Chains A and B, each alone.
Chain A
Amino acid sequence: MILLLSGSGDANLDYVIEWLHHYDHPYQRINADDLLHDDFHLALAPPRLTVRQRVVDLDAVGAVWLRQFGNLRRSVYWQEAKRRVRPDALEQIAREHAVALGGLLAVLADKHWLTHPSRVHVNKLDMLQCAHKAGLVVPETHVVNRKRELAALRATGDFICKSLYEPLFLKDGSGFYAMYTTRIDAADDELISDDFTPSLVQRLIPKDYELRVFYLDGECYTMAIFSQQRARSALDFRNVDWTDPPRQVPYTLPPEVAARIRAFMTEIGLNCGSLDLVKSTDGRYYFLEVNPAGQFGMVAFPCNYPLYDKIALHLIRHDRA
């Protein structure tokens, strides 16, 4: 049996479930938010799992697909709890919830994992180091906390800043502040204080186009995004006007770049993930980041890549092995 671990809002699971049905293969989906709403009982030594009063036969589980198994904030529970639970207590509950989820993952340690729990969260800086070691080109990268250091860098050319962690959206009034990749302009000088908290800055890479790669089991499924076509998405594709999107087309990576991505993913122990690259105007392919449980519908649908089918087949193959 295949276990699918993610959250309620993850449509990727819905699409893979359709294929698992199609192939008539047994599966069980557990959402992180189920633990807050449904009957859930995990007993230990020996482990015994009951979900919605039905025993999940852990011995029968061969393969596990792990995605965003956490993030209490996106749950129905959170909407109620944020109004009714003290913030410090809620913080503690979130940590406890994370430990409960981690306990379930630990019980499944010897299964085949599509994204191993130890690799589902990666460090952006570490990934840049690893990619560099695997022979991928990475942008010149700095972590600084002083304006004068930033000024010294900017004296040598254009720089961008981006979030060290996953980007955040701060809701405010009738809109939100979005932590997209931002070019640091001279006009920003007065907004930047002399000191700030450690921040990621990278030399700006002039782009021909952006590349989104969905990596699965050694294969790269790549899409080129001509984000340069539109001013607002030029630096960060997520900042796109969906009523007038830039071109997104299937792309074939040069074999040596694909080989380095394979070497990199193998080295860091990821059998699946979404990678962001840039084809620069100087012809080089820059690695920007890897998201182990990233979105890939935005690659699968426009390019008509059979990614959901491939994932289902991968899980079925390893479930039987």
Chain B
Amino acid sequence: MTERKKPFASSLAADDRRLHSLNILLADYEPIVDLARDEALLELKQPCAVYGTRDFADHRFYKSLTMSLGPVDATQPPPDAAGEAGAAAEPAVDAAAAEAQRPDGSSYFATWACCLPVEGHARSIVCDLQRSTFAFIPNVVAEILELCKTRSVAELYAHYGHEHNREIDEYLAYLVARDFGFYCATPQPFPELDLDWRNPRPITNCVIDFGADTEQPLASLSEQLSRMFCQAVELRFFRAASADELASCAAAFGDSTIRSISLLAGDHASLDRDGLELLLRRNKRIKHIAVHSTAGRNEVIRVDMHTTIRYTSEVVSSEACCGQVSPRYFSPNVDAFTEALVRNSCLSHKVSVDARGAIKNCPSMVRSFGDVRTTPLAEVVASEAFQAPWKITKDQVLVCQDCEFRYICHDCRAYVADPEQPLSKPARCRYNPYEGRWE
């Protein structure tokens, strides 16, 4: 039973309670963790003429961009190593509880629709698209889960000749303990997730780079991107930038369809934690700030569920620093997963402006489609040549097509392992799916 936190009735004089209704009397008190921040954000308005609103909702379903750099601390193992160890070890399963949940052999085991197994060459993962996470499973478990779609647990035992009932029970108990699936009398009412990716927006995301003396026409870009319903921009400074400069660049998107602004800038005295938090408090669209070239400071601060601040000692001197592949940049969510099935997981519906003002698919790519000062973005975006790389899926990319991470990992077409083979894997990926390890 829920613990009563502090019913409203407690705040009333006994004689005043009769003037209230039951639901109000028994209403529970919910503290707001950071009231000052919450109220500051409430006062901020995010107008958008294209949507015809003077304050659009701070919606949680949007695409955010962050430049794919190395891990914050290169000496640390990639974040999935812990999960790997966990999966290899005997899962901490409350056998009795799991047993109690399983009614009988005629019941079915169903994975939650949002938990999708993806088979790789050496091992598989379950992508939990609701909680944005994943876990390793042996390939045989992915096979079992596929069989579970049409077979009861008893039929599953029979399929393996009743020789592996115990192992099957253990696997399923592990999946229940990790909340990837559940037992049910019939799987019928629980359809699989619709994996169609649908998108009405000509452009969903945009990268804009700033070199030593770049001047980007941000007001014009904001207007052009809004007409294409772009949702996310990343502004990347390959030099130090002050909090004031970042604030004024972000302010250029003050009336736009942009729901998420990511900032990357070289360290500056004004970019201490207070300075960055003030920046976040004054512009609700800013969701991520990364400060590079710090003198040894490596830290990730989670401000709230959708907002992060990151300090890295890595030096980001040009667009050539992008393209790192790491579990840090995995996106196990419905939108990214379904998009990766049919589109390129980096370039799809992206447009970029590099530090020299060239319109490109990505600043790291060679081909320029025109100068941002003279060429309208919409013209470039509509062209077949520009859209060609959008359609390269992970299932077409060599090596990646055998990798269990293929639908949650971002691609990179700018730096590929074999320049002679355009469909070769990202050059900066250190993962070997044939052996299931990071090299």
Contact = CB atoms under 8 A, between A and B. Distances in A.
B193 A250 contact: yes
Nearest to A29: B52
B23 A163 contact: yes
Interface string A183-212: 111011001111111111100000000000
A303 B21 contact: no
A250 B20 contact: no
B20 A247 contact: no
B28 A248 contact: no
A319 interface: no
Contacts of B23: 161-164, 167, 179, 182, 199-200
A306 B1 CA distance: 37
A232 interface: yes
Contacts, number: 197
Contacts of A226: 182
Given A174-B31, A191-B9, A29 B338 contact: no
A309 B334 CA distance: 17
A229 B188 CA distance: 21
A14 B56 contact: yes
B301 to A, nearest CB: 16
Interface residues of A, number: 79
Contact of A247 (B52, B130, B191): B130
Interface stretch (B10-18, B92-100, B417-425): B10-18
A4 B53 CA distance: 12
B53 A188 contact: no
A77 to B, nearest CB: 10
A296 interface: no
Given A31-B53, A191-B7, A248-B114, A197 B21 contact: yes
A234 interface: yes
Interface string A27-65: 001010110010000000000000000000000000000
Interface in A294-321: 297, 301-306, 309
A31 B4 CA distance: 39
Contacts of B334: 301-302, 304
A13 interface: yes
Interface stretch (A17-25, A115-123, A265-273): A17-25
**Which residue of A13, A167, A182 has the most chain B CB atoms within 10 A of its CB atom?**
A182
Interface stretch (B196-204, B318-326, B371-379): B196-204
Contact of B54 (A4, A33, A253, A304): A33
A263 B154 CA distance: 40
A13 B53 contact: yes
Contact of B21 (A4, A196, A232, A302): A196
A76 B45 contact: yes
A172 interface: yes
B435 interface: no
B27 A8 contact: no
A191 B17 contact: yes
A8 B55 contact: yes
Contacts of B61: 297, 301
A178 B194 contact: no
Given A163-B23, A177-B30, A304-B338, A9 B8 contact: no
Nearest to A192: B25
Given A177-B29, A197-B19, A18 B53 contact: no
A174 B198 CA distance: 41
B33 to A, nearest CB: 9
A140 interface: no
A174 B37 CA distance: 11
A182 B27 contact: yes
Contacts of B7: 188, 191
B166 interface: no
Nearest to B36: A174
B35 interface: yes
Given A301-B334, A304-B194, A196 B18 contact: yes
Interface of A: 4, 8-11, 13-14, 17-19, 21-22, 29, 31, 33-34, 37, 76, 79, 150, 161-164, 167-168, 170, 172, 174-180, 182-185, 187-188, 191-201, 224, 226, 229, 231-232, 234-235, 242-245, 247-254, 297, 301-306, 309
Q: Which 5 A/B pairs are nearest by Cβ-Cβ distance? A: A199-B22, A22-B200, A29-B52, A191-B9, A193-B17
Given A175-B30, A175-B32, A184-B22, 9 more contacts: A176-B29, A188-B26, A192-B9, A193-B18, A200-B22, A224-B190, A232-B2, A303-B194, A306-B194
